[in-house]
Amino acid sequence: MLFNSYIFILAFLPVTLTGYFLLNRYGKTSASKLWLCGMSLVFYGYFNIKYLPVIIFSILLNFFFSRFLISSEKENLRKAVLCFSVFLNVGVLFFFKYLDFFIENVNAVFKAELPLLKIALPLGISFFTFQQLSFIIDSYKRKVPRYAFLDYALFVSFFPQLIAGPIVLHSEMLPQFADKNNKRLNAENFSKGLFAFSLGLAKKVLIADALSGAVDAGYIETDFFLNTTNGLIIMLAYTLQIYFDFSGYCDMSIGLGYMFNIKLPINFNSPYRALDMSDFWRRWHITLTRFFTEYLYIPLGGNRKGKKRTYLNIFIVMLVSGIWHGANHTFFLWGALHGLSLVITRMLKEKLRKIPKAVTWLFTFSFVNVTWIIFRSSSVREALFIIHRLVMMKFSAPDIKLAEKIIGSDLTFVFGGLPAVEYVAAFSLIAFALFASVKMKNTSERLETFKPSKMNAAATVILLTLSIISLSGVSAFLYFDF
């Protein structure tokens, strides 16, 4: 089920909210948790009910591992169980996400003909697997209290963060579910949540989905990239599409959390304002960066074993981050390039401070743009072809088809055959999206000073209305594939 769908907005969400707060109102706390957990599983199973047993089995097994790691006093056995549980979680993720990719590479290298299993990827498996891995590791470190099974199941399955994050920690979620003050409907939190949800929905539907037409056309028909002008437009369109798609999801997720009086961690903080790549990764997918820092970078030694080892650890973390995003050589290359950029940023830290901020911003933004080409391409060969065409610098007038893809219609008929109208409409959207991503307040900043008011109510209604009207072209979030 998608946040940006009629069934979610008009049916699932109202029913889930009503049931949750009614049960809490009449003192049925356990029943309200069971209701919310059950509805979250319905939300998950709506995509493909065949994969509902995957998440249920994962929750049951990891809860058992956690209980054992908390209660057992036999250190050697605890270490063995920890290693087995980590291996099992990563193994399940590998089976669904990477096995066919592994077989393809074996066939290519050894000239073999092993059959592909063509396994469909269960939605959100990368996210709920990492979330439970953090819980298991913290259980081994004895940082986890003895939570009841229902509390743990709700922690994993809570639908606002189930499919594409944020990757939350038990310490920031479970105390909120236990807080009695969060059991009753809070008008201010609800209005704040609805405001954030409307902003996120507008980002997704009115901006990201509009830009997706030109992006898809460009990557399906790479002849568009024979013209450097078209290539730059498509490159920038994808840079903005993935920004507003992911930012929109994060806003909706935070908004839904507020409706249930749950404050989810910030996962997105205007990354296109970044002045270097370290700054970028402190702003983009913040909870994923936190996970890799806590559970991979620090165990590898962090910055405690000298500069060379620090640089190697940074590179390894970003390479793993690239692999986490998908089973394709493009993600390996994307992760490796970002790893190298972080190493270089760290090496030149003092020198970069002396460079004007406008220059470092432009260099960082340009690097992000180019690496997004690799991220979006279906193969490394396609990515190199596109980048090669861009650097050829063969400029000419942009293709009118790209403008039509962005605005979703042919305005030349309405305006008496004036193609300039389409260009203006399309490029105005790109210009606004770029300005908004860099200069305008993000949703988290707006929520810090948010107060229920007539102006905020009007903005919420207008954004929701425009977005719902535009839902005929609903598309899944980009991060659902990761």
Catalytic residues: 325
Structural tokens at position 339: 């790893």
Distances (CA, A) of 15 to 19, 117, 234, 306: 6, 39, 41, 55
Tokens 């290519």, residue?
A: 108
Please answer whether residues 212 and 372 qualify as being in contact, where contact means their C-beta atoms are separated by less than 8 angstroms. Answer: no
DSSP track, 66-107? HHHHHH---HHHHHHHHHHHHHHHHHHHHHHHTHHHHHHHHH
Q: Where are the beta strands (DSSP E) in 283-415?
A: none
Total Cβ atoms within 10 A of residue 320: 14
Quote the DSSP letter at residue 268: B
CB-based contacts of 241: which residues, under 8 Å, 6+ apart? Answer: 207, 208, 211, 212, 215, 478
**For residue 314, which of 336, 284, 291, 288 has the smallest C-alpha distance?**
336
Alpha helices in 158-275 (DSSP H): 170-178, 187-202, 209-220, 228-259
Structural tokens at position 441: 């307040």
Q: CA-CA distance, 349 to 85, in Å (whole number)?
A: 39
Please answer whether residues 260 and 192 qualify as being in contact, where contact means their C-beta atoms are separated by less than 8 angstroms. Answer: no
Q: CA-CA distance, 230 to 294, in Å (whole number)?
A: 42
Residue type, 279: D
